[in-house]
Homo-oligomer: A and B are copies of this chain.
């Protein structure tokens, strides 16, 4: 994996374990598998899959991975050492970690004397025995062991000798990596730097890792300080998800380590997957992406109109610390109240459409865009709707059908739980008015079904379209139930997928707009050849 002579850093992702501790984040087994595959593509060598002893969902995740293994990454199972006054062989948690069937296991143990005595109420020597027994047992059964030293930095500050004893015990028992954890996230970079140096001096030839949390808003800097002091494994999560204030963000650490500091973490072409991986994971866990995230956020390379834009186009170096493309992000010209024609041309170019100042459509698109964006539309996540808007202005939008209106009726009397919604649509197609109705397990499903029934005889290929994702966001939450909603709909046809958007004070109206444009765009894909920028190959 090492390239040239760059020193190697081993990434260890814990999105699927520590990341899921984030308040408000919950994932299904299928979600976990999708994230694991994305991390594998990204080139992360170690993926912590979960804690099979504590969570039944994680047991199934490991089983499923055995039948569909990842390409390159090692998946590790996580667990604590045995409990006080038991044996490793009879400890159910250790049996669960073995049953996960992974080659690598991660065992965490206590470094802080206070935790040993007050937390788990045992003796300092029994804690050492717990570390030793657990690691030796797992080694005996053929596992490679990563030892996570929990509360390492607090423990070391309180009682350095005892803390170091826990590490030497783990090394002697056969742990391959020792990971120093700042569990409470309270340590600052200069302390990390000093303490990691102390450890490297004390435990020569031992491979060290670092695991930091963001409670002091310095998780990334802490991990960098540890690497510069000798750590060669870096633990973190995608988007910095994690308990409380989160873990060190791998989306920031990877470019800092590899682009800025010259370490080798993943292949250079894999770094370009970073922005996409960040967004993919936020979609899977269904959290709004942080638009202001370093490197991968939508605003990370956003420039406002005017002098700034022409300066950045002349020499990007003057306003951008790295090239956005290196991390798979892109420069974005912000369309604001002062937006000019040149901004629209620059923005259209990011969608692969060439406009020029002389074309009257350019100004028309600008006006339309401004009006729609002020209503709450947003086209960055809905390229298909943006392309329809541009084609409308350019006179190249084909009218396949026209929805004249729709009605939705929901009846939720007690006991009536399925097909409780009925939708009626009136669609003009090929000069005829078609009226159709359908039921569904909710108003949007009913609406989608009614539209398809109305159109299928005219456009049989509609049967191949599938509505594959549906998201709703409230735009001005303080307006309560009168708030505007934005619906995003992702459609696919077996080979491609595309996204459309709708906005309305009525949640059903917003959904309907996006569903209708999704069908229209799919039909256009069959007859013409819309630009590749708005469709994604599955």
Contact = CB atoms under 8 A, between A and B. Distances in A.
Interface of A: 21-24, 26, 28, 30, 54-55, 112, 114-115, 118-119, 151, 183-186, 188-190, 214-218, 220-222, 224-225, 228, 243-246, 249, 252, 256, 260-261, 283, 286, 288, 291-295, 297, 299-302, 304-305, 311, 314-315, 317-322, 334, 336-338, 373, 378, 380-381, 404-414, 416, 420-421, 426, 440-445, 447-448, 466-478, 480-483, 485, 504-509, 511-512, 515
Given A23-B299, A244-B302, A378-B24, A477 B470 contact: yes
A18 to B, nearest CB: 11
A426 B507 CA distance: 23
A447 B184 CA distance: 46
B472 A474 contact: yes
Nearest to A298: B23
A448 B483 CA distance: 13
Given A189-B224, A214-B294, A304-B243, A441 B482 contact: yes
16 contacts: A21-B305, A24-B380, A188-B260, A190-B225, A215-B295, A217-B252, A244-B302, A245-B299, A404-B413, A407-B412, A408-B409, A410-B509, A421-B506, A442-B505, A442-B506, A472-B485
Given A407-B409, A477-B471, A261 B55 contact: no
Most chain B CB atoms below 10 A, which of A22, A112, A151, A373:
A22
Given A472-B474, A472-B485, 10 more contacts: A54-B338, A114-B317, A217-B256, A245-B299, A245-B300, A286-B478, A405-B414, A408-B443, A444-B481, A470-B481
Contacts of A112: 318
Contact of A408 (B151, B295, B410): B410
Contacts of A314: 118-119
Contacts of A243: 302, 304
A480 B445 CA distance: 8
Nearest to A224: B188
A252 B246 CA distance: 14
Most chain B CB atoms below 10 A, which of A24, A217, A315:
A217
A318 B119 contact: yes
A14 to B, nearest CB: 15
Contacts of A440: 481-482
Contacts of A322: 186
Most chain B CB atoms below 10 A, which of A220, A244, A297, A470:
A244
A477 B54 contact: no
Contacts of A441: 482, 505-506
Contact of A294 (B55, B216, B228, B302): B216
Of all A-B residue pairs in the complex, the 6 with the closest CB atoms, nearest first, are A186-B321, A221-B221, A405-B413, A217-B252, A442-B506, A217-B294
B506 A410 contact: yes
Given A405-B413, A410-B408, A507 B216 contact: no
A337 B55 CA distance: 9
Given A188-B224, A410-B408, A472-B485, A215 B294 contact: yes
A482 B445 CA distance: 6
A403 to B, nearest CB: 9
A119 B311 contact: yes
A292 B22 contact: yes
Contact of A474 (B381, B470, B480, B505): B470
A326 to B, nearest CB: 12
A283 B474 CA distance: 11
A471 B224 CA distance: 38
Contacts of A426: 413
Contact of A21 (B23, B184, B304): B304
Contact of A477 (B228, B315, B469): B469
A409 B305 CA distance: 43
A370 to B, nearest CB: 11
Given A220-B217, A293-B245, A412-B512, A225 B189 contact: yes
